[in-house]
Structure 1
Protein backbone atom coordinates (compact mmCIF):
# COMPACT_ATOMS: atom_id res chain seq x y z
CA UNK A 1 0.00 0.00 0.00
CA UNK A 2 2.85 2.34 0.84
CA UNK A 3 4.50 1.63 -2.49
CA UNK A 4 1.24 2.25 -4.31
CA UNK A 5 0.86 5.57 -2.50
CA UNK A 6 4.41 6.55 -3.36
CA UNK A 7 3.88 5.65 -7.01
CA UNK A 8 0.64 7.65 -7.04
CA UNK A 9 2.38 10.71 -5.56
CA UNK A 10 5.29 10.38 -7.98
CA UNK A 11 2.92 10.18 -10.92
CA UNK A 12 1.09 13.26 -9.70
CA UNK A 13 4.34 15.21 -9.43
CA UNK A 14 5.36 14.16 -12.92
CA UNK A 15 1.99 15.30 -14.28
CA UNK A 16 2.32 18.59 -12.41
CA UNK A 17 5.81 19.11 -13.82
CA UNK A 18 4.59 18.32 -17.34
CA UNK A 19 1.74 20.82 -17.18
CA UNK A 20 4.08 23.42 -15.66
CA UNK A 21 6.55 22.92 -18.49
CA UNK A 22 3.78 23.38 -21.06
CA UNK A 23 2.69 26.64 -19.40
CA UNK A 24 6.26 27.97 -19.28
CA UNK A 25 6.86 27.02 -22.92
CA UNK A 26 3.65 28.73 -24.01
CA UNK A 27 4.65 31.84 -22.07
CA UNK A 28 8.20 32.03 -23.37
CA UNK A 29 7.82 31.01 -27.03
CA UNK A 30 6.36 33.88 -29.10
CA UNK A 31 2.80 33.30 -30.33
CA UNK A 32 2.63 29.78 -28.85
CA UNK A 33 0.19 30.89 -26.19
CA UNK A 34 -2.12 32.63 -28.64
CA UNK A 35 -4.47 31.76 -31.50
CA UNK A 36 -4.89 34.41 -34.23
CA UNK A 37 -8.58 34.98 -34.94
CA UNK A 38 -8.18 37.82 -37.43
CA UNK A 39 -9.62 40.61 -35.29
CA UNK A 40 -7.69 39.57 -32.16
CA UNK A 41 -5.27 37.06 -30.69
CA UNK A 42 -7.04 34.71 -28.30
CA UNK A 43 -5.01 33.81 -25.23
CA UNK A 44 -4.83 30.07 -24.67
CA UNK A 45 -2.00 29.93 -22.13
CA UNK A 46 -4.55 29.52 -19.35
CA UNK A 47 -5.95 26.33 -20.91
CA UNK A 48 -3.26 24.01 -19.44
CA UNK A 49 -4.11 25.52 -16.05
CA UNK A 50 -7.81 24.72 -16.54
CA UNK A 51 -7.04 21.19 -17.73
CA UNK A 52 -4.65 20.70 -14.83
CA UNK A 53 -7.34 21.81 -12.41
CA UNK A 54 -9.86 19.32 -13.78
CA UNK A 55 -7.42 16.43 -14.16
CA UNK A 56 -5.12 16.88 -11.17
CA UNK A 57 -7.37 18.57 -8.63
CA UNK A 58 -7.60 22.07 -7.14
CA UNK A 59 -4.35 21.99 -5.17
CA UNK A 60 -2.17 21.15 -8.13
CA UNK A 61 -4.37 23.41 -10.23
CA UNK A 62 -3.58 26.29 -7.87
CA UNK A 63 0.13 25.57 -8.29
CA UNK A 64 -0.28 25.64 -12.07
CA UNK A 65 -2.18 28.91 -11.79
CA UNK A 66 0.70 30.28 -9.74
CA UNK A 67 3.12 29.22 -12.48
CA UNK A 68 0.95 31.02 -15.04
CA UNK A 69 0.94 34.14 -12.88
CA UNK A 70 4.70 34.04 -12.37
CA UNK A 71 5.34 33.76 -16.12
CA UNK A 72 3.18 36.84 -16.63
CA UNK A 73 5.09 38.65 -13.89
CA UNK A 74 8.42 37.78 -15.51
CA UNK A 75 7.30 38.70 -19.03
CA UNK A 76 5.94 42.06 -17.91
CA UNK A 77 9.13 42.77 -15.99
CA UNK A 78 11.71 41.85 -18.64
CA UNK A 79 9.69 42.87 -21.73
CA UNK A 80 7.29 45.55 -20.48
CA UNK A 81 4.68 47.52 -22.39
CA UNK A 82 2.90 50.71 -21.35
CA UNK A 83 0.49 48.91 -19.02
CA UNK A 84 2.92 46.40 -17.50
CA UNK A 85 2.82 48.26 -14.17
CA UNK A 86 -0.52 46.56 -13.48
CA UNK A 87 1.20 43.14 -13.60
CA UNK A 88 4.56 43.78 -11.98
CA UNK A 89 5.77 45.94 -9.08
CA UNK A 90 9.16 46.22 -10.79
CA UNK A 91 8.07 48.50 -13.64
CA UNK A 92 7.20 52.18 -13.70
CA UNK A 93 5.70 54.45 -16.33
CA UNK A 94 6.53 58.05 -15.52
CA UNK A 95 5.06 58.74 -12.10
CA UNK A 96 3.04 55.52 -12.12
CA UNK A 97 4.61 52.58 -10.33
CA UNK A 98 3.65 48.98 -9.94
CA UNK A 99 2.96 47.92 -6.36
CA UNK A 100 1.75 45.08 -4.17
CA UNK A 101 -1.55 45.43 -6.02
CA UNK A 102 0.24 44.34 -9.19
CA UNK A 103 1.07 41.05 -7.48
CA UNK A 104 -2.58 40.61 -6.52
CA UNK A 105 -3.65 41.15 -10.14
CA UNK A 106 -1.01 38.92 -11.67
CA UNK A 107 -1.31 36.03 -9.19
CA UNK A 108 -4.72 35.77 -7.51
CA UNK A 109 -6.92 35.44 -10.65
CA UNK A 110 -4.50 32.94 -12.19
CA UNK A 111 -4.44 30.81 -9.03
CA UNK A 112 -8.23 30.77 -9.03
CA UNK A 113 -8.18 29.67 -12.68
CA UNK A 114 -6.50 26.56 -11.32
CA UNK A 115 -9.11 26.02 -8.62
CA UNK A 116 -12.62 26.89 -9.83
CA UNK A 117 -12.78 24.68 -12.97
CA UNK A 118 -12.29 21.56 -10.84
CA UNK A 119 -15.39 22.33 -8.79
CA UNK A 120 -17.42 23.29 -11.85
CA UNK A 121 -16.51 20.01 -13.54
CA UNK A 122 -17.03 17.97 -10.39
CA UNK A 123 -20.40 19.57 -9.65
CA UNK A 124 -21.74 19.21 -13.18
CA UNK A 125 -20.46 15.65 -13.44
CA UNK A 126 -22.35 14.79 -10.29
CA UNK A 127 -25.45 16.60 -11.53
CA UNK A 128 -25.48 15.44 -15.15
CA UNK A 129 -23.75 12.08 -15.01
CA UNK A 130 -20.72 10.53 -16.67
CA UNK A 131 -21.86 9.61 -20.15
CA UNK A 132 -19.43 10.79 -22.85
CA UNK A 133 -21.68 13.60 -24.05
CA UNK A 134 -22.36 14.88 -20.56
CA UNK A 135 -18.68 14.72 -19.65
CA UNK A 136 -18.00 16.89 -22.69
CA UNK A 137 -20.55 19.43 -21.45
CA UNK A 138 -19.00 19.44 -17.97
CA UNK A 139 -15.51 19.89 -19.38
CA UNK A 140 -16.62 22.68 -21.68
CA UNK A 141 -18.32 24.50 -18.81
CA UNK A 142 -15.15 24.19 -16.74
CA UNK A 143 -13.17 25.68 -19.62
CA UNK A 144 -15.58 28.59 -19.98
CA UNK A 145 -15.63 29.37 -16.25
CA UNK A 146 -11.85 29.12 -15.96
CA UNK A 147 -11.27 31.49 -18.85
CA UNK A 148 -13.84 34.03 -17.70
CA UNK A 149 -12.46 33.87 -14.16
CA UNK A 150 -9.14 35.09 -15.53
CA UNK A 151 -10.64 37.83 -17.68
CA UNK A 152 -13.21 39.15 -15.23
CA UNK A 153 -10.92 39.22 -12.21
CA UNK A 154 -7.88 40.64 -13.99
CA UNK A 155 -9.76 43.43 -15.75
CA UNK A 156 -11.88 44.40 -12.75
CA UNK A 157 -8.89 44.37 -10.40
CA UNK A 158 -7.03 46.60 -12.85
CA UNK A 159 -9.93 49.04 -12.61
CA UNK A 160 -10.07 48.86 -8.82
CA UNK A 161 -6.36 49.32 -8.19
CA UNK A 162 -5.10 51.22 -11.24
CA UNK A 163 -8.16 52.55 -13.05
CA UNK A 164 -7.03 56.14 -13.55
CA UNK A 165 -3.40 55.23 -14.27
CA UNK A 166 -4.44 52.48 -16.68
CA UNK A 167 -6.68 54.92 -18.52
CA UNK A 168 -3.88 57.48 -18.73
CA UNK A 169 -1.48 54.88 -20.11
CA UNK A 170 -4.06 53.93 -22.73
CA UNK A 171 -4.96 57.54 -23.50
CA UNK A 172 -8.51 57.10 -22.20
CA UNK A 173 -10.52 59.64 -20.20
CA UNK A 174 -11.15 58.67 -16.59
CA UNK A 175 -14.91 58.30 -17.07
CA UNK A 176 -14.37 56.02 -20.07
CA UNK A 177 -12.02 53.54 -18.39
CA UNK A 178 -14.63 51.07 -17.19
CA UNK A 179 -16.58 51.08 -20.47
CA UNK A 180 -13.25 50.37 -22.15
CA UNK A 181 -12.61 47.48 -19.75
CA UNK A 182 -16.09 46.11 -20.44
CA UNK A 183 -15.34 46.24 -24.16
CA UNK A 184 -12.19 44.17 -23.61
CA UNK A 185 -14.19 41.64 -21.60
CA UNK A 186 -16.79 41.39 -24.35
CA UNK A 187 -14.62 41.55 -27.45
CA UNK A 188 -11.64 39.56 -26.19
CA UNK A 189 -12.64 37.74 -23.02
CA UNK A 190 -15.77 36.08 -24.40
CA UNK A 191 -14.10 34.75 -27.61
CA UNK A 192 -11.22 33.47 -25.47
CA UNK A 193 -13.72 31.70 -23.24
CA UNK A 194 -15.38 30.10 -26.26
CA UNK A 195 -11.99 28.88 -27.49
CA UNK A 196 -11.23 27.51 -24.02
CA UNK A 197 -14.63 25.79 -23.91
CA UNK A 198 -13.96 23.98 -27.18
CA UNK A 199 -10.35 23.00 -26.47
CA UNK A 200 -10.97 21.82 -22.89
CA UNK A 201 -13.99 19.79 -24.02
CA UNK A 202 -12.10 18.15 -26.88
CA UNK A 203 -8.77 17.58 -25.14
CA UNK A 204 -10.06 16.88 -21.65
CA UNK A 205 -11.94 13.66 -22.37
CA UNK A 206 -8.99 11.65 -23.72
CA UNK A 207 -6.73 13.08 -21.02
CA UNK A 208 -9.10 11.87 -18.30
CA UNK A 209 -8.09 8.32 -19.17
CA UNK A 210 -4.41 8.97 -18.47
CA UNK A 211 -4.58 10.71 -15.12
CA UNK A 212 -4.84 9.34 -11.65
CA UNK A 213 -7.08 12.18 -10.45
CA UNK A 214 -10.35 10.97 -9.00
CA UNK A 215 -12.68 12.86 -11.28
Structure 2
Protein backbone atom coordinates (compact mmCIF):
# COMPACT_ATOMS: atom_id res chain seq x y z
CA UNK A 1 0.00 0.00 0.00
CA UNK A 2 1.37 3.39 -0.95
CA UNK A 3 1.70 5.86 1.91
CA UNK A 4 3.72 8.59 0.24
CA UNK A 5 2.03 11.94 -0.04
CA UNK A 6 2.33 13.80 -3.32
CA UNK A 7 2.17 17.55 -3.59
CA UNK A 8 1.08 19.56 -6.59
CA UNK A 9 3.45 21.64 -8.64
CA UNK A 10 1.76 24.79 -7.36
CA UNK A 11 2.28 23.80 -3.74
CA UNK A 12 5.92 22.95 -4.34
CA UNK A 13 6.27 26.29 -6.10
CA UNK A 14 5.00 28.02 -2.98
CA UNK A 15 7.58 26.12 -0.92
CA UNK A 16 10.30 27.18 -3.34
CA UNK A 17 9.08 30.78 -3.16
CA UNK A 18 9.08 30.73 0.65
CA UNK A 19 12.58 29.25 0.62
CA UNK A 20 13.69 32.07 -1.66
CA UNK A 21 12.06 34.63 0.62
CA UNK A 22 13.89 33.09 3.58
CA UNK A 23 17.23 33.41 1.82
CA UNK A 24 16.46 36.97 0.77
CA UNK A 25 15.51 37.92 4.31
CA UNK A 26 18.57 36.16 5.72
CA UNK A 27 21.03 37.97 3.47
CA UNK A 28 19.45 41.42 3.60
CA UNK A 29 18.25 43.66 6.45
CA UNK A 30 14.67 42.52 5.72
CA UNK A 31 14.83 39.45 7.93
CA UNK A 32 16.29 40.76 11.16
CA UNK A 33 16.03 43.85 13.31
CA UNK A 34 19.05 43.70 15.60
CA UNK A 35 18.54 44.93 19.15
CA UNK A 36 21.43 44.21 21.48
CA UNK A 37 22.63 40.59 21.49
CA UNK A 38 19.31 39.34 20.08
CA UNK A 39 17.39 40.19 16.92
CA UNK A 40 13.73 40.43 16.05
CA UNK A 41 13.43 37.80 13.32
CA UNK A 42 10.73 37.84 10.66
CA UNK A 43 11.98 34.59 9.13
CA UNK A 44 9.43 32.66 11.16
CA UNK A 45 6.74 33.92 8.77
CA UNK A 46 7.85 31.99 5.63
CA UNK A 47 8.26 28.93 7.84
CA UNK A 48 4.67 29.31 9.03
CA UNK A 49 3.36 29.78 5.49
CA UNK A 50 5.26 26.68 4.31
CA UNK A 51 3.76 24.66 7.16
CA UNK A 52 0.26 25.87 6.24
CA UNK A 53 0.67 24.92 2.59
CA UNK A 54 2.60 21.65 2.90
CA UNK A 55 2.15 20.59 6.51
CA UNK A 56 5.01 19.29 8.69
CA UNK A 57 7.13 18.42 5.63
CA UNK A 58 7.00 21.96 4.29
CA UNK A 59 7.57 23.38 7.76
CA UNK A 60 10.60 21.13 8.21
CA UNK A 61 12.20 22.22 4.92
CA UNK A 62 11.64 25.92 5.58
CA UNK A 63 12.68 25.54 9.21
CA UNK A 64 15.89 23.81 8.17
CA UNK A 65 16.73 26.64 5.77
CA UNK A 66 16.02 29.17 8.51
CA UNK A 67 18.28 27.23 10.87
CA UNK A 68 21.14 27.07 8.38
CA UNK A 69 20.99 30.80 7.64
CA UNK A 70 20.83 31.52 11.36
CA UNK A 71 23.96 29.45 11.93
CA UNK A 72 25.62 31.23 9.02
CA UNK A 73 25.36 34.47 10.96
CA UNK A 74 27.61 32.96 13.62
CA UNK A 75 30.44 33.08 11.10
CA UNK A 76 29.47 36.28 9.33
CA UNK A 77 27.45 34.85 6.45
CA UNK A 78 24.41 37.02 5.78
CA UNK A 79 25.22 39.40 8.61
CA UNK A 80 26.68 38.83 12.02
CA UNK A 81 25.01 37.72 15.23
CA UNK A 82 26.90 39.04 18.27
CA UNK A 83 25.69 36.18 20.42
CA UNK A 84 26.15 33.61 17.67
CA UNK A 85 29.78 34.63 17.17
CA UNK A 86 30.50 34.18 20.87
CA UNK A 87 28.75 30.80 21.00
CA UNK A 88 30.60 29.64 17.88
CA UNK A 89 33.85 30.56 19.58
CA UNK A 90 32.90 28.40 22.54
CA UNK A 91 31.79 25.38 20.49
CA UNK A 92 31.02 25.37 16.75
CA UNK A 93 29.11 22.06 17.03
CA UNK A 94 26.91 23.21 19.90
CA UNK A 95 26.37 26.55 18.20
CA UNK A 96 25.09 24.74 15.10
CA UNK A 97 22.73 22.59 17.17
CA UNK A 98 21.48 25.62 19.11
CA UNK A 99 20.76 27.55 15.92
CA UNK A 100 19.51 24.76 13.68
CA UNK A 101 17.42 22.35 15.77
CA UNK A 102 14.97 24.91 17.24
CA UNK A 103 14.03 26.13 13.76
CA UNK A 104 13.66 22.59 12.37
CA UNK A 105 11.48 21.49 15.30
CA UNK A 106 9.38 24.64 15.04
CA UNK A 107 8.61 23.98 11.38
CA UNK A 108 7.55 20.40 12.06
CA UNK A 109 5.42 21.26 15.10
CA UNK A 110 3.49 24.09 13.49
CA UNK A 111 2.61 21.86 10.55
CA UNK A 112 0.76 19.62 12.98
CA UNK A 113 -0.66 22.59 14.88
CA UNK A 114 -2.24 23.94 11.69
CA UNK A 115 -3.86 20.59 10.96
CA UNK A 116 -5.22 20.32 14.51
CA UNK A 117 -6.61 23.86 14.65
CA UNK A 118 -8.09 23.60 11.14
CA UNK A 119 -10.41 20.87 12.37
CA UNK A 120 -12.03 23.36 14.74
CA UNK A 121 -11.65 26.80 13.17
CA UNK A 122 -11.85 28.67 9.87
CA UNK A 123 -8.87 29.17 7.62
CA UNK A 124 -7.93 32.65 8.85
CA UNK A 125 -7.92 31.65 12.50
CA UNK A 126 -6.02 28.46 11.71
CA UNK A 127 -3.32 30.34 9.82
CA UNK A 128 -3.11 33.09 12.43
CA UNK A 129 -2.70 30.56 15.23
CA UNK A 130 -0.03 28.80 13.19
CA UNK A 131 1.77 32.11 12.73
CA UNK A 132 1.64 32.81 16.44
CA UNK A 133 3.06 29.42 17.35
CA UNK A 134 5.75 29.77 14.70
CA UNK A 135 7.18 32.72 16.61
CA UNK A 136 6.31 31.37 20.06
CA UNK A 137 7.87 27.94 19.60
CA UNK A 138 10.89 29.39 17.84
CA UNK A 139 11.53 31.53 20.92
CA UNK A 140 10.87 28.71 23.40
CA UNK A 141 13.05 26.18 21.55
CA UNK A 142 15.80 28.76 20.93
CA UNK A 143 16.04 29.77 24.59
CA UNK A 144 15.75 26.17 25.79
CA UNK A 145 18.63 25.14 23.54
CA UNK A 146 20.64 28.20 24.61
CA UNK A 147 20.31 27.46 28.32
CA UNK A 148 20.55 23.69 27.87
CA UNK A 149 23.67 23.71 25.70
CA UNK A 150 25.46 26.80 26.99
CA UNK A 151 24.00 27.38 30.43
CA UNK A 152 27.20 26.32 32.18
CA UNK A 153 29.45 28.64 30.17
CA UNK A 154 30.80 31.84 31.68
CA UNK A 155 29.16 33.89 28.91
CA UNK A 156 25.62 32.71 29.70
CA UNK A 157 26.18 32.72 33.47
CA UNK A 158 27.13 36.39 33.22
CA UNK A 159 24.00 37.13 31.20
CA UNK A 160 21.81 35.32 33.73
CA UNK A 161 23.53 37.13 36.59
CA UNK A 162 22.07 34.94 39.31
CA UNK A 163 18.46 35.37 38.14
CA UNK A 164 15.90 32.62 37.97
CA UNK A 165 16.40 30.95 34.58
CA UNK A 166 12.75 31.36 33.56
CA UNK A 167 12.73 35.04 34.50
CA UNK A 168 16.00 35.51 32.63
CA UNK A 169 14.54 33.97 29.46
CA UNK A 170 11.42 36.14 29.63
CA UNK A 171 13.42 39.30 30.26
CA UNK A 172 16.04 38.42 27.63
CA UNK A 173 13.65 37.92 24.72
CA UNK A 174 11.25 40.62 25.94
CA UNK A 175 9.87 42.91 23.27
CA UNK A 176 11.63 40.90 20.56
CA UNK A 177 9.39 37.89 21.05
CA UNK A 178 6.23 40.01 21.35
CA UNK A 179 6.97 41.76 18.05
CA UNK A 180 7.72 38.46 16.31
CA UNK A 181 4.50 36.87 17.56
CA UNK A 182 2.34 39.85 16.57
CA UNK A 183 3.85 40.15 13.08
CA UNK A 184 3.77 36.43 12.39
CA UNK A 185 0.17 36.07 13.60
CA UNK A 186 -1.21 38.85 11.40
CA UNK A 187 0.83 38.20 8.25
CA UNK A 188 0.48 34.40 8.28
CA UNK A 189 -3.27 34.76 8.80
CA UNK A 190 -3.60 37.04 5.78
CA UNK A 191 -1.22 35.15 3.49
CA UNK A 192 -2.60 31.73 4.42
CA UNK A 193 -6.15 32.87 3.73
CA UNK A 194 -5.13 34.20 0.32
CA UNK A 195 -3.39 30.93 -0.54
CA UNK A 196 -6.44 28.95 0.53
CA UNK A 197 -8.67 31.00 -1.75
CA UNK A 198 -6.18 30.36 -4.55
CA UNK A 199 -6.55 26.62 -3.82
CA UNK A 200 -2.87 26.23 -2.99
CA UNK A 201 -3.48 24.46 0.30
CA UNK A 202 -3.94 20.68 -0.14
CA UNK A 203 -7.38 19.20 0.51
CA UNK A 204 -5.86 17.09 3.29
CA UNK A 205 -4.89 20.31 5.05
CA UNK A 206 -8.43 21.65 4.89
CA UNK A 207 -10.48 19.55 7.27
CA UNK A 208 -13.55 21.74 7.67
CA UNK A 209 -15.57 24.01 5.45
CA UNK A 210 -14.20 27.53 5.24
CA UNK A 211 -16.38 30.07 7.01
CA UNK A 212 -14.89 33.27 5.68
State the partner residue of 1:158.
146
State the partner residue of 1:75.
73
Gaps of 5+ in 2: 206-212
SS at match of 1:115: helix
Distance 1:11 1:119, change over 3 A: same
Residue 117 (structure 1) aligned with residue 107 (structure 2): no
Task: Report deviation, 1:173.
Answer: 5.3
Which whole-Å CA distance do the structure 2 matches of 1:196 and 1:155 have between them? 19
C-alpha contact 1:49 1:114 (8 A) present in aligned 2: yes
CA RMSD of aligned residues (A): 2.9
State the partner residue of 1:213.
202
Q: What is the TM-score when the length of structure 2 is the normalising length?
A: 0.78
Residue 168 (structure 1) aligned with residue 155 (structure 2): yes
- Deviation per CA, 1:43-96, whole angstroms, max 9, x where unpaired? 211100111011122112201110011111112212544421576xxx31xxxx
Which whole-Å CA distance do the structure 2 matches of 1:36 and 1:104 have between them? 21
Task: Report deviation, 1:35.
Answer: 6.3
Work out the number of aligned pairs and report it: 194
Greater RCO, 1 or 2 (C-alpha within 8 Å, sep 6+): 2
Correspondence 1:48-59 to 2 at 5 A: 48-59=46-57
Which whole-Å CA distance do the structure 1 matches of 2:163 and 2:41 have between them? 25
Gaps of 5+ in 1: 129-133
Residue 101 (structure 1) aligned with residue 94 (structure 2): yes
- Deviation per CA, 1:126-155, whole angstroms, max 9, x where unpaired? 123xxxxx3211111111111111001101
SS at match of 1:42: strand
